[in-house]
Structure 1
Amino acid sequence: MAEFTEEFMEKMEQFYENDPFIHVIDMSLVNIEDGQVTLGMPITEKHTNAHGIAHGGVLMSLADTAMGASCMSVNKKVVTMDLNINFIRAAKLGENVIAVAEVLHNGGKTMVSEAKILSEKGDLCAKARGTFFVIDNFVK
């Protein structure tokens, strides 16, 4: 695991503390490494669709946030340019899921990251890939 400065970790914690959407869908930071971030989220009733499984938009939001955080882990502040996701298996009510996101391309103007969303048993629920526009350094 990379050694992150105290300033970086404080800024990362503030980012998650101050982002209202993260609190709405109950995402939490599980692990951070250089170029890889893991976020967790419980699937509660507010996350489900009419079929009683996690809504695809909730899983896409988790993947997008994790991929953006993976970019932040290499000190890049980014916004999403493009995102695609393949849904493999339903995430069920009561399950905890994690998104493991990893930077694939760390460019000066754009970045590419990939995320896997896994059930608590390790089953692949979805796989996403995103392209991100670099707007600044995360920590100056």
Structure 2
Amino acid sequence: MEEIRDETGTQRLVGYVVEVGHADGFARCWLDVDERHLNRHNVLHGGIATILLDNASGTAGSLTVDAAGLTPFLTISMTTQYLASGKRGRVTAIGKVTGGGRSTKFISAELRHEDGTLIATSSGVYKRVPQEKLK
């Protein structure tokens, strides 16, 4: 298992970690939730929950073409369903490719607290960034 840390400004700001290389082939994105990640109701901010789901999903797409999980995939559309309040402690999003072709993927994700509580789910469409756009 490999951890990707401090790759982007958002990752450094929020403090999440991306994991690749799990035996199941799924991408993971986790965060140790503290007071910086809470909203005015003292629970995980929904925008941060969505960041975790989106990163796990994009990385899941990347893993279909790159075992290191570094090939960029962009979010075309994403729907998030909030199911329970997130609290302090570790939360982990797991992204799974559910369909698609070579460059466009349908990906779902779940965000769970370390106690097993399902906090949110998402489904989205992600597109591989063409190599010529990376130069």
Asked if these proteins are the same fold (TM beyond 0.5), I'd say yes
Aligned counterpart, 2:102: 108
Shift of 1:129: 0.7
AA aligned to 1:46 is R
Aligned counterpart, 2:118: 124
Cα deviation 1:45-80 (Å, max 9, x = unaligned): 111111000110000011001100111111253100
Change in 2 beyond 3 A, CA 1:82/1:135:
same
- In the TM superposition, what are the counterparts of 1:93-104 in structure 2 within 5 Å? 94-104=88-98
Aligned counterpart, 1:68: 58
AA aligned to 2:58 is G
The count of residues paired between Structure 1 and Structure 2 equals 125
Q: Which runs of 5+ in 1 are unaligned?
A: 2-8
User: Out of 17, 27, 45, which is 1:37 matched to?
Assistant: 27
TM-score (norm 2): 0.82
RMSD: 2.1
Q: Which runs of 5+ in 2 are unaligned?
A: 66-70
**Maintained 8 Å contact 1:35/1:103:** no
Shift of 1:86: 0.5
User: Out of 71, 85, 88, which is 2:83 matched to?
Assistant: 88
Shift of 1:124: 0.6
Task: State, as a whole percentage, how many aligned pairs show the same letter.
Answer: 22
**Maintained 8 Å contact 1:32/1:38:** no
